[in-house]
Structures are given as structure tokens and as C-alpha cells.
Amino acid sequence: MRGRDFLLTFLGCMTLAGCGSGNSGPLGVAFIDNGQNLFASGVRLSPGGQTVRAATSTGLVSLDEKGEIVPALADRWIVADEGRSYIFRLRDGKWPDGTDLTGERARDSLRQVIRSLRGTSLGLDLAPISDVRAMAGRVVEIRLSTPMPDFLRLLAQPELALSHGGDATGEMILKRSGDKGGQGDLTFKPPEERGLPEDEEWRDRVRPLALTALNFDQALEAFEDGTVDVVLGGRIGGWPRAEPGPLSRGTRRIDPAIGLFGLQVRNANGFLGRQENREALAMALDRPALLAAFNISGWIPTTRIVPLAFAAPGATERWAGIDIDDLRGAARRRVAGWVGGIGNGETPVLRIALANEPGNAALFNEIASQWKEIGVVLERTEPGKPADLELVDQVARYAEARWFLNQFNCTLRRGLCSSDADGEVAMALVAETAEDRGAALARAEAKLTAVDAYIPIAMPLRWSLVRGDVTGYAANQWAWHPLPPLATIPK
């Protein structure tokens, strides 16, 4: 069911509870997600699930609403041994089950979390961790095999939350509600359970959050109705419905996100079995024209896997200075050569996996139109079904080239990859100097680019809807919007 029919029960309950802007009742927060993802357990979380996990469980450090590192279970730390040693002093307090918060227990929990992430891209990101040690009392040391400048941001990821006895360590408590499982209420724990001094008036400065998981049509309707005050998780699929005209009661916010937005080759057979053909598809894309169709100011096109901000000095966009007509001419000749040879006169037809959403439809139509000019037909299929290409749409976890390269590691089995590129990333982990590490990562990107396993398009698009009187929200390059700040009433 869509829209009002689906939301009647939820909206009625929220209205009776006093949901809405102001401080008298719960703040309504809708995620463009589904209930199963939003409240999932385990380590494979959707962005919405990560946000909820971060509110209810925490690690040594966490991220605030600006995406900056803040203390969590550790109240301070130092970096030693030229960036290879991170020493954390745990805050005074106890685990939720009442046992002492000690270095030994934090060490054991972190080791367990790291083991659970093996086989994931986040597990690859954690590869520099060589050891976790408990030191005197409440002190934990993490040893790295090589310096990692943005290591604290990686450590702040929600999947790295620590626990003891299975109880959550975060600032807030979640209570699930609703027959469909896509609703829940978040409330703050008392200050003393959050490592803060006792405060008899603390309830006057916080408010509960009423969470719900909806598709983008339902979320936009709930926002326009005034039933929710914040909508999180907007992507390209729902963008055409989020135009500011009908949403005069709220504000659309766009994150200056960094990450991956492009097409990964899933089936390297037939036309895509040849690297020169895959390169032809990448050459033929007029990225500025493609993005212009969406009329989004500041949306940045790219031809690179690793953005220039994190690439080696002197790096440039691919095919810089070459006119798009010349690039398409070369691509057209390659396609014609394949059709006249191995293709036996058949026009290449490629399938792309894209959810049936308005923004995805616009993206598909623009790409299909551009590739038609070089003689390639593009068809859409649903995600999860056999496809030749798949949209990659991910926000980076931390500001280093290795994150971008790890997303295409062969062990993840996400599509066409390069074991040679993976080998260079591994070499970077044992390099002795920053120069050697940078050179290894530059070689890794060059080898992955040479395979043309991924066709970059732009940085990822992330948007939210936030009513004007809501505080605790800030657009940032990580598209990270934690829930505790939204639940805090400013003085």
C-alpha cells in the first residue's frame, strides 16, 4: 500500500503522542529504508541501520552531527610511534550489565568485532590493525602495521561498537513498535549511564524520537503532512519527488558527499568481455550533461575511482582535454568493430540492475540515450536479477584512497575486479614510508582503471528533509546524521 493508507495507523499514533516540531512530544524521524534494514542486527547494515546502531551502541569514539570525531567509551587518546599506536583511556563507568569498564573487556570486545567483520569491505579497511592490547586499568592500545591518517574515523563506524554481555553501550534505548516492525522509539539513558554526572533535570533537555522506515513516497507525504520532522536517507531514486515546490513546510538539505556513484561490470562476457569495449562505454558518457538533467547544484562528475582530493599528486581526470565528440567517435568505431567481428552483426544489448524509482528511471534514460549514439542498447532489470552492470552508490567511510579501492577487492565477489590492484593495496599496508604507500595505492588505482571494471559517473547524491526549527542536523561529506543530537533540546 502507498501513502496515506499505509500510514494511517502510524500517523494517528504519532499525532496522539504529540509528535512534531517543538519540545512537547517525540520528534518524528522517517528513514527511506525498510523496517528489516533499519533495525537489523549483525554487521551488514544499511545506512539507516548504521544510524540506529550508532544511537544504541558505541565504540571507543563516535561521530557528531558534523561528522567530526568525538569521545565515546574512550574520553581521551594519544597517537604515538609515528601514527602506528593509538592509546585510549576509557571513561569512568561500567558496562550496561554492571561490570567494570576495563581495558581487558574492551580489548576482548574489539577483537571479537574485528573477527566478525572478516569477509566484508569494512573488514578490509581494518587490515592495518595488527594488535589490540589491554594496558593498565582502563587503557587500550591499538597497534597498526602502517600509519593510517583517518583511522579514528574508521574506528567510529557503527559496526565497531563494543559490548559486554550482549547489552548495548550507546546513549539511547530502542523500543520496537508497530505490527510491521518498521517503527521504534528512541529515548535517552540517564546521564550516569552515559558517563555523565547525575542531573535531576536532564529530562527537560531531551526528547524521544519516533522512528519509522518508509519508502520515499510515504516519507515525503509524512513530512508534508507534518507528521515527521526529519526524513533521512534520500538518494537519486527519490530525488524527482523531493522538489522544493510542494515541500514548502520544510527544507531540503543536500550533503556534499564523497564516495562512489557509477556502474560496476557484473558480467564480463560477450561485449563486456573485452576491455576496449568496457572502456568505450566509459569514454562515451558525457557526465556533465548526464548530471545536468537532474538540475542539482554542486553535484560533481568524475571519471576516476579515487577522487582527485585523495589521489596522488599530479593526478588528473581521465581523458582530460579531449572533446566528448572525439571520445564518442572512438567508442563508436570500437563498437562497430566488435559488431562486425565477434558480434556477428548483432547490436550489443546490456542489462543494468536498477530499482524502479523515478530518479533511477531518469538516470537510465540518460545513459541509454548516450550509449545509443555509439551503437549500444541498454535495458533495465530489477536488482537481484542477472545483469551485466550494476549501480554502485556508496558514501565513503573515511578519507583515504584505500576505501575506494577496497570496494572492488576480488574477495568481495561484487563483479569484475583486478587481483593485481588488490596486490598493490596489500603492498601499501607494509610500505615503510608515506611516499611508498602513496605510490602503491596510485599503482593500484591505475591497474583497476586499466581493467575498466567500474565506470565512474559522479560523487554520490544524498539528501534529507529537515523542518526549519529542528536542531542537531548538519550537512557533511559523510552524509552522517546521528540521532542523539536530534533528540537534544538546545538551551
Q: Quick: pLDDT tens for 346-372.
A: 999 999 999 999 999 999 999 999 999
Burial class (CB in 10 A: 0-12, 13-18, 19+), 400: buried
- The third-level CATH classification (topology) of the domain covering 3-49+170-256+462-486 is D-Maltodextrin-Binding Protein; domain 2 (3.40.190)
Tell me the residue type at 409. Answer: N
Write the CB contacts of 360 (distance below 8 Å, at least 6 apart in sequence). 236, 237, 354, 391
- Report the CATH number of the 259-458 domain: 3.10.105.10
What's 469's DSSP letter?
Answer: T
Q: What is the pTM of this model?
A: 0.92
pLDDT tens per residue across span 180-215: 568 999 999 998 888 788 888 888 899 999 999 999
For position 177, what pLDDT does the model report? Answer: 80
For position 249, what pLDDT does the model report? Answer: 55
For position 8, what pLDDT does the model report? Answer: 39
CATH 3.90.76.10 in the chain is located at 61-160
DSSP string over 292-341:
HTTT-TTPPB-S-SS-GGGSPTT---TTTT--HHHHHHHHHHHHHHHHHT
pLDDT tens per residue across span 408-463: 999 999 999 999 999 999 999 999 899 999 999 999 999 999 999 999 999 999 99
**Average pLDDT, consecutive stretches of 10 residues, N- to C-terminus, the chain (491 residues):** 41 41 78 86 91 96 97 96 96 88 94 96 97 94 96 97 84 82 88 83 91 93 92 95 63 94 97 98 97 91 95 92 97 97 95 96 97 98 95 97 98 97 97 94 97 98 94 96 95 76
Judge whether 294 and 239 are in contact, CB under 8 Å: yes
For residue 283, the tally of other CB atoms under 10 A from its CB is: 24
For position 98, what pLDDT does the model report? Answer: 85
Q: Strand order of the sheet with strand 462-466?
A: 172-177, 183-188, 209-214, 27-32, 230-234, 462-466, 251-255
CATH 3.40.190.10 in the chain is located at 3-49+170-256+462-486
CATH 3.10.105.10 in the chain is located at 259-458
Q: How far is CA 147 from CA 83, 100, 131, 402, 436, in A?
A: 5, 31, 14, 13, 12
Query: In CATH, which of 3.90.700.10, 3.90.76.10, 3.50.50.60, 3.60.20.10 is domain 61-160?
Result: 3.90.76.10
Residue 85 bridge partners (DSSP): 80, 143
Tell me the residue type at 127. Answer: A
